[in-house]
Structure 1
C-alpha cells in the first residue's frame, strides 16, 4: 500500500463525467467547480490564458464582450512567485486581487509561451523566472506561494525541462524521480495546510522523449491522490510530431479514466484535434495570444457540417460533403497575394512562426481591405472594424491593435473548441479534422 494512500481524502470535490468516448476521444463535463461548487467545464476544452493573472491586452469589461470565455482561468507561478509577500499581506488570494473573483483558477508552474531556461533544476529546487530574475522553489516555498495565491487547482512542482536536442536516459530518469519526490513532499505539506486542504493538485507526467520513463511517471503519479494529470514538456519543437503523438497515446492509456488530462503549449488546431483523439481533455489558450503578438488574426474554418443547399440536407454516405469554408475567391486572393509579395512589401515581417491558420495584418495588401478579419465572425472587432483599420493600427504601433486582435483570436479559438465538442457529440470528429487539415502546413 502506497505511503500516501491515507491522503486520498485530500482530493477536493471535482467530478469528471464522461458522456461519450469515440476511440480515445472523450466528451464530458467537469462539475463541482469553484467555491460554490456550481460551475462546470466541458471537455475537450481550454482554459483562459493570462499574463500575470490578467487576460493579455484586455480589461475586465472588454473580456465580457468575448463569447464563450472558459470558466477556468489559467495563471502562471513564474509570473506571480515574486509577488508572494504582497499577496500574503493582502490575504484574499490572486483571484480577488486580479479581479477574477468569480473565476475558477488553475496555476501552472511555467508559462507555456515563455518556459524557463534549462539547467537550473536540482534534486531540491525548481527554478522559475519572473520579471525580477530567477526564483528557486523548494517544495516548502512552492506550497507557501500556493497558500498566498489561493487558486482552485495547481500543477505540482515538477522537473519539466524541455531539452532542445532530445533527452538522455539519465536526464529523463532524473526528471521522473525528482518530480515524484516533489509530488510526495508537496502532498505531505498539503495534509498539514488548512488553507490548501480543499484544493486540487495536478500531477505532472515527465520523462522527456523516452517511452519507458514516461510510462513509469504516469503509473507512479496515478498512484498518488492527485485530481488530474499534466502531460508536461511537450511544447516546442524538441520532439518530432510523430514522437509526441506516440508518447501521448501511450501515456493516456495508463491514466485513470475518471480524472482529467491537461497539456500545455499545444495549441495549433490540427495538433489539438490529434491530442483530443488520443484522450487529452484540457488545453491552454496561449496560441491565440501568440498569434496576436505577431500581428496576426486567426482565420480558419471549423464548420464540419455539410451545407444543406449544396448537399440537399441529407448527403449520401458515398458523397464527400461540401463544407462551409471561407469564400473560395478570398482564399485564392490570399494565396495569390502571398505568392506575389516581395520582401519590401512585408514591412520587415518575421513570419517564421506563422501558421496557415492565421493572416498577418501587417502586410501591405491589407491597406485597403475593408472586410472583417474573418467573414462571418461575430466578435466585437469583426462587427465594428476592418482589416484595413487593424493594419493601420499595427503600422502606427497603436495599443488598440493588440486589444482588437486578442478579442477576435480568443473568441474564434473558444468557438473552435465548441465545434470540437459538437463534432464528438455528433460522431463527426473526422469531418472536423478534414476541414481543419485543409489549412494545415
Structure 2
C-alpha cells in the first residue's frame, strides 16, 4: 500500500524489487484480514492463492531463497497446516529455514500449542524454525518448549529504549522468570551500586544505577546505549543457558 493507494504486485515486479533491495527471504502473501469466524472455503482459497503465488515464483527459477515466512492473520490452525505443507518440500528450491510469524497470537493462550504444532509438524526435521518478534524470556521459554529454534533480539533492545534492564535466573529455561530495573524511576537517583553486581558487562562494570538514572532523566543518548549493551549481554547469556540445559537433558 503506497502513497497512491493500493498497488498490484506481480511476480516480475516482486522479483525486480527483491533483486534491487538484496533481500534473502520472501513473505508468503496470505489474507491478513482472516478472522476466527471466516468460513473454511475462504481460508482454503487464501492458502491456494499463496501456493500459486509461490509456485509462480519458483517456475521462473530466478529467485532462489532459502527462507519463507508462514503467516495467517488470526493464527487459524487449518490454514497454518495447509501453508506449512505447501512450503515444507518445494520442488527444486529447498528451504533451510521457515519463519513462523506469530503476530497477533497470544503465546499464553490455551489454543497456541495446537497452532504451533500445526505449523511445525509438516516441516522437515532439518528445517530451522525461526520466530521473529518481541518475546520476553518467559515467552521464549514457552516457544522453545513448543519446538521453536531461533529468535531475534528485538525485545531486549525495546526494553533498553524504555529504560529497563533485565536479568534471567541461573536456572533458565527451567525457571523462566526474570528481574527488571526501571531507570526512569526517581528512586534510583541515590543508588550508587552496580545495577546488577553479578553481571560483568561493560555497563554494569563501569556505571552505577544513579548515573544510568541520571542519563534517562536528562534524555541522554548514552543511557539507552548502555542498557542495550547490558540487555544483549543478558540475552546471549540466556541462550547459553538454554544450550546448556538442552545438552544436560539430552544425555
Q: What TM-score does the superposition give when structure 2 sets the normalisation length?
A: 0.82
* Alpha-carbon spacing, 1:149–1:213, altered in 2? closer, same or farther (3 Å): same
For the 8 Å contact 2:168–2:238, the answer to whether it is kept is: no
CA deviation profile, 1:344-367 (whole Å, cap 9, x unmatched): xxxxxxxxxxx9643211011111
Using a 3 Å threshold, how does the CA distance of structure 1 residues 410 and 175 change in structure 2: closer, same or farther?
farther
1:57 corresponds in structure 2 to none
Q: Does residue 230 of structure 1 match 2:52? A: no
Q: CA deviation at 1:272?
A: 1.1
1:146 paired residue number: 18
User: What is the 5 A alignment of 1:71-110?
Assistant: none
Higher relative contact order at CA 8 Å, sep ≥6: structure 1 or structure 2? 1
Query: Partner residue of 1:102?
Result: none
Residue deviations 1:210-244 (CA, integer Å, cap 9, x gap): 22221111112213234121212x13456752222
Q: Which residue of 2 aligns with 1:188?
A: 59
| Residues 106-161 of structure 1, C-alpha deviations (whole Å, 9 max, x = no match) | xxxxxxxxxxxxxxxxxxxxx4x8xx89885543333222212334x413342373
| C-alpha RMSD of matched pairs (Å) | 3.1
1:413 has 2:235 as partner? yes
Equivalent in the alignment of 2:119: 251
Which digits, 9 at most, give the CA deviation of each residue in 1:42-76, with x for residues without a partner? xxxxxxxxxxxxxxxxxxxxxxxxxxxxxxxxxxx
Q: For structure 2, which runs of at least 5 residues remain unmatched after alignment? A: none
1:297 maps to which residue?
165
Give the distance between the partners of 1:382 and 1:185, measured in 2 at CA.
53
Answer yes or no: is the 8 Å Cα contact 1:202–1:226 preserved in 2.
no
Deviation at 1:185, TM superposition (A): 2.5
* Matching residue of 1:79: none
Q: Secondary structure at the match of 2:110?
A: helix
Q: In 2, distance between residues paired with 1:180 and 1:390?
A: 51
CA distance in 1, matches of 2:232, 2:46: 34
**Which residue in 2 is equivalent to 1:364?**
186
Q: Which residue of 2 aligns with 1:278?
A: 146
Q: Report the Cα offset of residue 260 of structure 1.
A: 0.8
Give 1 or 2: higher helix fraction: 2
Choose which of 29, 47, 52 in structure 2 pairs with 1:176. 47
TM-score, with structure 1 as normaliser: 0.49
